[in-house]
Amino acid sequence: MQSPRTVAPNISWARLRPHIVGWAFISPWLVSFSFLMVYPFIASFVLSFTRYQLIGEAQFIGFENIQRMLFEDERVADSLRVTFTYVLLTVPAGTAISVLVAILLNQAVRGIPFFRTSFYMPSVIGGVGLALLWTTILAKNGPVNAALGLVGIEGPNWLFETAWALPSLALKALATAGAAMLIILAALQGVPQHLYEAVELDGGGEWAKFWHVTLPQISPAIFYNVIVTTIGVMQSFVEAFIMTNGGPGTATLFYGLYLYRQAFEFYRMGYASALAWMMFLIILALTIINFRVARYWVYYEGEE
Amino acid sequence: MTSKSSRRSFLKVSGSVVAGAAVAGCVAPVAPTTMDSAGPTSERVALRFLNKWGSGVRRELMNGFLDTWAEENPEIGIIFEPVADFDRRMPILVAAGEWGDIMLFFDLQLSAFHEVAADLTPYFEASGTPFPGKEGSELIRIPDHVGYEPGKVKAVPFQLNIVMTGINKDLFREAGVPMPWEHDHNGDKWWDWHDYREAACAINDLGEDIIGSNFSVGNIEQDGLVNWSVANGGQLIDVENKKGSWNTPEFIEGQQFAVDMICQDGCMLNVDDYQGLGQALGIYPWAAGVQGIASRGSGYWVSRSEADLTQVAWVRSPNTGQSAGLGSMHFHIVTTQSQHPAEAFEFITYLANFENQKNIALSGTAEPVNAGVWQDADYQATWGGPEAVEAYLDALDNFIFTPQLPGVLEWFGEIKILWGDVLRCGVSVEEQVVIVDQKTDEILAAHS
């Protein structure tokens, strides 16, 4: 009886080489992605079921952190309320402002490069520096109140009054909508002229041009901004950390700031990990909702 | 064939090595070693020393300490590693297992990381050095269970910060109210809450831009109002039972008096205006008749001001005749990882000796932890007059420590929020002390 013939795997150096070269090229990214993203991602998931206070062993405590987060810790509800309010204050208004400014900056007037640069400039300044600058601007005796004083209005103590603190941070966010504006501006410049001419032939005016041509054409860029801004605003931290430290009371206690405090001020890494995962799930849900809703208002050229 | 199989073997072996390395990388840092000797060894050793004094005047001072140490102790080398952004980076170093031999912690951190600190009791005993604050010790008192290990001393103090009370004598004169030391209480010259209220409200009436009292940070920090309740016989936390302790007549009375000054009299800034309005007036911090001075640096500022300012003793409870104020302390610890704990102990006690602490005191960067320096004429000459001398010595005698319990950091954060509602006149003292105590119990239980 003849034994079955063993078939040697058909692997040759020539066939392997492109694979090896390919892996070698992406290995710097792969290694950093694995160790700096995947590993912490998994570790934080595991830690969220533990009590871990930086030293000693992490103790497995099952769903205790999640139970505390959802049912016992009222600061979680406070911080979510603050964060969602901030999203509502900044994302719709910020989008509207960036569209409006982009349209203005798309006009053929003298000195337009100067205006474009001016509106974009605040986006270039780093977060901490900008936050410090706005702290000065909104101080009780700062320039905003000085200007209000000229017309007989006594300005509030913007950052230290419960009613004004969060709107003040939102004001700062709106004044720095330059990055979104730039993307919209690029989209505006890509709108084909013949579509406007078609509207003119149909007897449409400026409003018709904007509503039936401009808006649909730039809607993918608006959608992109809404997604990115929502995610960014949900993760807001620097403004509150630098300008108000979450106060007065919990008026500006963003979820990200509360998470930071649990981790790096109270050293409750397990609980902070659970909070981080909840934030991830909330952002994921918001993004999915945004995508579902997008089909009703975002226009893509290739779609029916 | 050979080359293919060797290539496969190579891939197998290298795969195993990579996987092994990955697993090894995940293993926890080397376990801390225990101390087995109470006496210094004769071989030359090098100690890693992590401290925040890495810039400016403090760095110059530290360099001087290190130079002198190197001359006198050539067998014990010190590798100084200044830690910038100390409050945030120290916990990260702890988490990373980068403990070195000696670390600096402030009191609240030490409560959280007490496991990092070695028990120094045998070294105190072996060197014949009394525990800090005990009879014969040249160091000032430290918390009973420093690092929260009952019965053990796990740290040597390095720097103290105590809050002072300052007054603007010009405003006192203008309002026609007695100076704090002019009140007579059965022959003793000190001031109580009532005297304080009278002065603050009279000064407040002088004009719109003048604040009666700016003492209140409005929370439980060093110059906060909780000190009033503690002076009245209350306590911050019931440490023995690990429970809340605010719902007591003594505590409530002290808080109520202070809150009335804010919410009824309007003679003291509330929690938000302290931060916003106090500075906005442009004459901060001396817009106020009475002002908390939160740091030694501010004390030096007093001496350079154009206004007639001085430090005074803390206001006392009319019931107990006592004053109290939170102090904060930085400690050096010898880590449980250190292979040379005896030498490390020797070095950290050197940093707390009279000469070094006097240099620190005279530099104006912190109050000294060496008791002898407090009595030193050169140091007292920097305080600005007899009232100030009395005030500083009163503060030294009566400052209180943050409770040494795990979880107290989180407790601070939460109480600031809860008590802020009272100091904004939104909630009553009686209602909120119940909530504060519940919260305290919850937090301490979660950390125990």
Q: Does B56 touch chain A (CB under 8 A)?
A: no
> Which of chain B's residues have a Cβ under 8 Å away from the Cβ of A247?
272, 420
Q: Which letter, b or e, does each residue of B52-80 get, where b requires 16 or more Cβ atoms within 10 Å of its Cβ?
A: bbeeeebeebbeebbeebeeebeebebeb
A141–B276 CB contact, under 8 Å: no
Domain architecture of chain B: domains with CATH = 45-161+327-389 (3.40.190.10), 164-326+402-447 (3.40.190.10)
Rounded to the nearest angstrom, the minimum Cα separation between A126 and chain B is 19
Q: For B102, list phi and psi in degrees, rounded to 5.
A: -130, 135
Is B29 part of the contact surface with chain A (CB cutoff 8 Å)? no
Quote the pLDDT of residue B290.
Answer: 61
Q: Which of B273, B409, B420 sits opposite A265 (nearest CB)?
A: B409
pLDDT on residue B221 = 60
The predicted pLDDT at position B190 comes to 87
Q: Between residues 261 and 300 of chain B, which touch chain A (CB distance below 8 Å)?
A: 271-273, 275-277, 279-282
Under an 8 A CB cutoff, do B409 and A139 touch?
no
> Which positions in chain A touch B111 (Cβ < 8 Å)?
none
Measured between CB atoms, which of A8, A54, A141 is closest to B95? A54
| Residues of chain B found within 8 Å of residue A53, distances taken between Cβ atoms | 112, 406, 447
What chain A residue is nearest to B90 in terms of C-alpha separation? Answer: A264
Smallest CA–CA distance from B418 into chain A, residue: A249
**What's the whole-number mean pLDDT along residues A113-124?**
85
Determine contact, residues B11/B308, Cβ cutoff 8 Å: no
Chain A hits for B91, Cβ within 8 Å: 54, 264, 267
pLDDT at A191: 92
The answer to whether residue A124 scores a pLDDT higher than 60 is yes
Pairing of strands B325-334, B156-162: antiparallel
Domain locations in chain A as residue ranges: 13-65, 69-294
B88: which chain A residues are within 8 Å (Cβ-Cβ)? 264
What mean pLDDT is reported for chain A?
89
So what's the pLDDT on residue B31? 35
CA–CA min distance B130, chain A (Å): 30
Is B88 an interface residue toward A (CB < 8 Å)? yes
- pLDDT per residue as tens digits for the range A228-287: 999 999 999 999 999 988 988 899 999 999 999 999 888 899 999 999 999 999 999 999
| Secondary structure element (H or E) that encloses residue B94, with its range | helix B86-96
Q: What is the ipTM of this complex?
A: 0.73
Chain A: residue nearest B439 by CA?
Answer: A73
CATH class of A69-294: mainly alpha
Which residue among B410, B417, B442 sits closest to A250, beta carbon to beta carbon?
B417
Q: pLDDT band for position A179 (50/70/90)?
A: confident
Q: What is the pLDDT of residue A83?
A: 97
pLDDT along chain B (448 residues), means of 10: 44 41 36 40 81 93 96 95 87 87 90 88 90 89 74 89 80 89 88 90 82 62 75 91 94 92 85 58 45 50 67 88 87 94 96 96 90 93 83 86 84 86 90 95 87
The reply to whether B342 touches chain A by the CB within 8 Å rule is: no
Q: State the pLDDT at residue B300.
A: 52
Q: Which of A54, A75, A264 sits opposite B88 (nearest CB)?
A: A264
Taking alpha carbons only, the member of B444, B152, B173, B430 closest to residue B308 is B173
The number of C-beta contacts closer than 8 angstroms across A and B is 70
Q: What is the DSSP string of chain A?
A: -PPPPPPPP---HHHHHHHHHHHHHHHHHHHHHIIIIIHHHHHHHHHTTEEEESEEEEEE-TTHHHHIIIII-HHHHHHHHHHHHHHHHHHHHHHHHHHHHHHHHTS--TTHHHHHHHHHHHHHS-HHHHHHHHHHHTSTTSHHHHHHHHTT-----GGGSHHHHHHHHHHHHHTTTHHHHHHHHHHHHTS-HHHHHHHHHTT--HHHHIIIIIHHHHHHHHHHHHHHHHHHHHT--HHIIIIITT-STTTT--HHHHHHIIIIIS--HHHHHHHHHHHHHHHHHHHHHHHHHHTTT---TT--
Q: Classify strands B164-168 and B309-312 as parallel, antiparallel or unpaired.
A: antiparallel
Nearest CB partner across the interface for B94, out of A54, A72, A157: A54
Residues in chain A closer than 8 A to B218 (CB atoms): none
From B442's Cα to the closest Cα of chain A, the distance in A is 10
**Chain A: nearest CA to B419, how far in angstroms?**
9
pLDDT at B16: 42
Contact assignment for A266 to B409 by CB distance below 8 Å: yes
Partner-chain residue, chosen from A72, A248, A267, that has the shortest CB–CB distance to B91: A267
- Contact criterion met (CB < 8 Å) for A140 and B279: yes
A15-59: pLDDT as tens digits = 889 999 999 999 999 999 998 999 999 999 999 999 988 887 889
CB-CB contact of B374 with B141 (8 Å)? no
A73 CA to chain B: closest CA distance, Å? 10
